[in-house]
Amino acid sequence: MKVTGILKVKYDAQQVSDKFKKREFVLTIDATTPYPQHVLMQLTQDKCSLIDNSEVGDSIEVNFNLRGREWQNPQGETKYFNTIDAWRVDKAGVTSNESTVNPSSHNDDDLPF
């Protein structure tokens, strides 16, 4: 999934355990509506640095996976939790793998046979 928004908050990375590190940030989406949404997202492990080049107030595009899990508490009640795991962050309108070739300049007569 992909969403574009304004970077509202950028937290420092947290070492949660010996083998797990995460970095949270808040993305404001629907900012021009009367009800903007402030969405908490996270980067994990080696992806924590993906937000380093973005500043609060920047318009960014985030590719993410929506994850959910089930947990049963000691009283036997089932609880559900969601996590939004970002795996790519780019400045809005710019992708890190943009091609320098203009697709409209492709010549269809240049066939390989």
pLDDT in tens, 8-47: 999 999 999 999 999 999 999 998 899 999 999 999 999 9
CA–CA dist 92, 3 (Å, integer): 10
Is residue 105 scored above 60 in pLDDT?
Answer: no
Q: How confident is the model at residue 83 (pLDDT cuts 50, 70, 90)?
A: very high
The pLDDT of residue 112: 54
Complete domains list, the chain, with CATH: 2-93 (2.40.50.140)
Is residue 106 scored above 50 in pLDDT?
Answer: no
Q: What is the DSSP letter of 100?
A: S
Dihedral (Cα; 37, 41, 89, 30), 10-degree rounding:
-10
Q: What is the pTM of this model?
A: 0.75
DSSP helix/strand/coil, 15: strand
